[in-house]
Amino acid sequence: MATQSTDKGATGGGGAGPRPRLMLLDGHSMAYRAYYALPVENFNTSTGQPTNAVYGFASMLANTVRDERPTHLAVAFDLSRQTFRSVEFPDYKANRAKTPDEFRSQIGLIGELLDAMNVPRLTVEGFEADDIIATLATAAEAAGFDVDIVTGDRDSLQLVTEHVTVLYPTKGVSELTRYTPEKVAEKYGVTPRQYPDLAALRGDPSDNLPGIPGVGEKTAAKWVNQFGSFDELVARADEVKGKIGEKLRDHLDSVKRNRVLTELVRDVELPLGVADLARVAFDKAAVGTLMESLEFRNANFRDRVYGIDPAAGQEAAEAELAPGVEVDGELLTDPGTLAAWLRQHASDGKTTVALAAVYQWALGTGEVTEVALAAGPSAAWFDPALLAEEDERAFATWLADAAAPKALHIAKQVMRAFAERGWTIEGVVADTALAAYLDKPGRRTFTLEVLAEEYLARSLAPAPAAETGQLAFDAPEEDPTAHAQALMLQARAVLDLAAHFDTRLAEVGATELMRDMELPIAALLARMERYGIAADRPWLTTLETQFAAEIQRCVEEAHAAAGHEFNLGSPKQLQEILFGELALPKTKKIKTGYTTDADALTWLATQTDNELPVILLRHRDQAKLRTTVEGLLKTVSPKGRIHTTFNQMVAATGRLSSQDPNLQNIPVRTEEGRAIRRAFVVGEGYESLLTADYSQIELRIMAHLSEDEALIEAFASGEDLHTTVASQVFEVPGAAVDAEMRRKIKAMSYGLAYGLSAYGLSQQLGIKPAEAQGLMDTYFERFGGVRDYLRRVVDEARATGYTETLLGRRRYLPDLNSDNRQRREMAERMALNAPIQGSAADIVKIAMLRVDDALRAAGLTSRMLLQVHDEIVLELAPGEREQVEAIVREQMAGAYPLRAPLDVSVGIGPNWEAAAH
């Protein structure tokens, strides 16, 4: 936050010491500026809630409070447009556009943030925020305060005095100009007390207050200074000569009305006085919960917000530690001490022991550098590299003991790291990150320090590697004991969180999901990550060269089509060429001109014979493919395998995803995408790859949940589903269903499973919304069970507050009852798709566990390597092909008894693409 002056004027007279400082913010004014300063399309939660105004407002507040250091703080808001001014002048502010829905939905969130920060917010019926600010500023100055007013409304300049300063935004909300009496005089040529006189004569288009035609600020200021005041000017209006004088006299009634309306009220009756506005400590748990729900993950932003907490600082952090969190810690550096600690604290088979570790990771291999354990108030720390043989053996035995209960944070990562040392972890009964995910699947941050702060009101040492799930932080070499103590406190936090979530998961019906699905899947994924999949590096290098050459060819063709060179990655240059030089049809209007995104270019390609849009699309496709291949090459380990990281806690529906590299972004419908899949090959010592996935699993689940007999019969017929459904919807024989009919029905069937609206279907199919609605209506006439289910699931979710999958995975959707239409409709779409997508995700996980268990029970060495969407990939050992294929088909088909039975497709080949089916 930049201001043009840093002089605070914070000392009182008579040597009385610093004056208290009150900061008053015009909430609506600054929130509006924040909304328009940050692009709304870049600030949305996974539920579709816009957050740009909240983010910008919070950032502005944090920066300004940090810079100005007020002792007292309050935010005033307009309650409505109906004020005494609108009664006096019905057209007051009548020219203002309707408040955008995206902005309106954020005002309540800003209020929630201020409440969590314990910052008073004030509204008064019939008055504007300016009047509240004027009342408080006047009272505070009289009480010996300095006052800072943060507002984008120039009417507040009339409040400026030696001790009242207006901080006016001149660039979004990131730069404020400090208006002192001298600055007001310099800018407007009048004193702050005279400013309402100037404003009345000038008029204010933003408030729909008409001025005098031909009279601007300079003339108005000259009159005010010449006559001394507005009243004197009105009384002596005949002295103003010429046509300008006639205009003044012709508009005296309107400017006198303006003068009444621009005067701020300084005696509004308020529920709080100045003394009630002293800053107090945040409710940090509430702030953290709100930030989490808004998905504000930027560490710098969060630090700035927490940094203005009056209780911030080390002493406050220590004071916030919950009672009884001190640990009786031991540094186990002598031989035999770890074995003795385990015998004393972890040998009864009943006591849960929490484990925290520091480990390093790179290209599929890693090293554990520190370990901490916690059992009740007792804790221990050791360096694995210094373990004696007796301790190493005792620790490995305890880890592998399934009867010894253990609690971890992001268990999969710990298992993966420990496996590098030959340690196998069994008996995991709690994973605090997974538990937080099952409790609130929409959250985006699962770091231990955030969870400890939110659920335990406890501060922990930060973990810089937390984004990858590692419990790691910089070790201060000068104080290793303090560092070990911090890690033991982390282990204790895991223990306490595990106890908290044990109760919480029972409340939300997720205990069985954790025990029977998520924890076993975590262990399986840890092994899959460690296996990795073999990669054909030379083939990837060849592809990278080919894509680079194609990109260059596209650049040359684009330059030829435009008639000159330009940067294909510059939206500004594309706009100039497409809509200026080539005069192509205009696309959607955006802030910087007209959009040139992929949808716009695709539309342009259909609207014109000009080849440039097609070339640009091809260039973007090739650039994406090259980026994908470059990313894959960087992740090939020295042993020639790629080790992706699977995420259990990203998709709120329960679906798995992957990163480093992301194997879900490899295209499969194009020849070039399939060429990339050929780079994933069978590894040394194995015979081939096997791929298996479910056919139309979402639609089968929709048929099962809706109990629609016609749809179930369509699956049972054994014919092509979309052709069969299309023949019923369009009332034609199956042989008469053409490709376009089938395409429409396929898009609609899947769209219904994903909560697609008629408008969304029209956009997807390139038809009018009315036609899309008619298509959906005809579909529902034939498949009334689907229609009834889609209505029922939203109604039930609105009543209970959550949706539920076949396996009991809940997703809470409080916005189903929101007064905001946008948020409510987004929640309704989630209520439609969460049970179907979530059930599909659960069934795939069950199938993975069943296949893995069967392989191990049969003593086979074939192994599962990947899970991508609904597909699993296995590496087949020599001589095991038939047995593994039979296991895969049986176990996947039997994962869940659907009314439209699961159908499994299997393929085998030397690489991922060749094994497609």
Q: What is the CATH number of the domain that holds 705?
A: 1.10.150.20
- Tens of pLDDT, residue by residue over 70-119, are 999 999 998 766 676 766 666 666 555 567 778 888 988 999 999 999 99
Comparing 49 with 785, the larger pLDDT belongs to 785
Judge contact between 887 and 863, C-beta under 8 A: no
Distance (Å, whole) CA 633 – CA 679: 10
Q: Is the pLDDT of residue 318 over 50?
A: no
Are 333 and 394 within one domain?
yes
- In this structure, what DSSP letter does residue 515 have? I
Specify the CATH number for the domain of residue 164: 3.40.50.1010
Last residue of a domain, one of 611, 642, 673: 642
Residue 741 in any domain: the answer is yes
Domain CATH for 488: 3.30.420.10
Q: What confidence score (pLDDT) does residue 218 get?
A: 77
Distance between start and end Cα atoms, the chain: 58
Residues 510 and 545 in one domain: no
Task: Check whether 364 has a pLDDT greater than 70.
Answer: no
Same domain, 49 and 125: yes
Same domain for 127 and 276? yes
Q: Is residue 4 predicted with pLDDT exceeding 60?
A: no
| CA–CA gap between residue 770 and residue 759 (Å, rounded) | 8
Residue 642: DSSP 8-state = E
Out of 369-378, 472-481, 694-703, least confident range? 472-481
Number of compact structural domains in the chain? 4
b/e map of 451-490 (b: 16 or more CB within 10 Å)? bbbbbbebbbbebebbeebbbbbebeeeeeeebbbbbbbb
Cα 584 to the chain's mean position, in Å?
36
Higher pLDDT, 560 or 199: 560
CATH of the domain at 619: 1.20.1060.10
- Does 714 share its domain with 790? yes
> Checking DSSP bridges between strand 802-804 and strand 164-171, what pairing results, if any?
unpaired
User: Could you give the CA distance from residue 914 to residue 695 in angstroms, rounded to a whole number?
Assistant: 18
Last residue of a domain, one of 832, 855, 886: 832
Mean pLDDT value of segment 667-672? 86
How much is the pLDDT for 842? 97
Q: Distance between CA atoms of 762 and 782, rounded to whole angstroms?
A: 20
Average pLDDT over residues 254-279: 86
Q: Is the pLDDT of residue 623 over 50?
A: yes
Mean pLDDT across 322-337: 79
Which of residues 829 and 459 earns the better pLDDT score?
A: 829
- The first and second tokens of residue 201, run together, are 């004569």
Residue 418 is predicted with a pLDDT of 94
- Domain shared by 380 and 411, yes or no: yes
Residues 77 and 25 in one domain: yes
Structure confidence at residue 456 as a pLDDT band (50, 70, 90): confident
Range of the domain at 725: 698-832
Q: Are 142 and 270 within one domain?
A: yes
Cis peptide before 667 (omega within 30 of 0): no
Reply yes or no on whether the pLDDT at 768 is more than 80. Answer: yes
737-761: per-residue pLDDT in tens? 999 999 999 988 888 877 788 888 8
> Which of 107-116, 258-267, 290-299 is the most confident on average?
107-116
- Is residue 172 predicted with pLDDT exceeding 50? yes
- Report how far residue 559's alpha carbon sits from residue 568's, in angstroms, rounded to the nearest whole number: 9
Averaged confidence pLDDT in the chain: 86
| In-domain check, residue 237 | no
pLDDT for the residue numbered 669? 83
Asked if 592 and 716 sit in the same domain, the reply is: no
Q: Is residue 879 part of a domain?
A: no
Q: Tell me the per-residue pLDDT of 195-230, one tens digit each, with 9 for 90 and over.
A: 888 777 777 766 666 777 767 677 777 787 777 777
The 3-state DSSP class for residue 117 equals coil
Contact indicator for 426, 373 with CB cutoff of 8 Å: no
Residue 198 lies in a domain: no
Q: What is the pLDDT of residue 87?
A: 65
Which of 532, 554, 575 is at the close of a domain?
532
d(CA 187, CA 164): 17
Average pLDDT for 412-420:
93
Structural domain includes residue 721:
yes
Lowest-confidence pick of 85-99, 294-308, 456-470:
456-470
Q: What is the pLDDT of residue 633?
A: 96
Q: What is the pLDDT of residue 105?
A: 84
Rounded Cα–Cα distance for residues 391 and 217 (Å): 84
In this structure, are 596 and 734 located in the same domain? no
Does the pLDDT of residue 316 top 50, yes or no? no
Percentage of residues of the chain with pLDDT beyond 70? 90
Residues 6+ apart with CB under 8 A from 494: 354, 355, 356, 374, 407, 408, 409, 432, 448
Q: What is the largest CA-CA distance in the chain?
A: 110
pTM assigned to the model: 0.72
- Looking up tokens 């086979």, which residue turns up? 860
Residues 587 and 712 in one domain: no
By percentage, how much of the chain surpasses pLDDT 90?
Answer: 55
Interval 852-857 mean pLDDT: 98
pLDDT of residue 17 exceeding 60: no
What would the pLDDT profile of 139-151 be if each residue is shown by its tens digit? 999 999 999 999 9
Q: Is residue 234 part of a domain?
A: no
Question: What does the pLDDT average to over 662-678?
Answer: 90
pLDDT digits (tens, 9 = 90+) for 790-814: 999 999 999 998 999 999 999 888 8
Q: What are the Cα distances from residue 561, in Å, to 294, 515, 548, 555, 598?
A: 45, 61, 20, 10, 18
pLDDT, tens only, 489-548: 999 999 999 999 999 999 989 999 999 999 999 999 999 999 999 999 999 999 999 999
The answer as to whether 693 is a domain residue is no
Least confident of 278-292, 426-440, 495-509: 278-292
* CB of 153 closer than 8 Å to CB of 29: yes
Q: What is the mean pLDDT of residues 252-259?
A: 74
The pLDDT of residue 201: 77
Give pLDDT, residue 92.
64
Structure confidence at residue 44 (pLDDT): 82
718 and 823 belong to one structural domain = yes
Give domain status of residue 657, yes or no.
Answer: no
Confidence class for position 8, pLDDT limits 50, 70, 90: very low
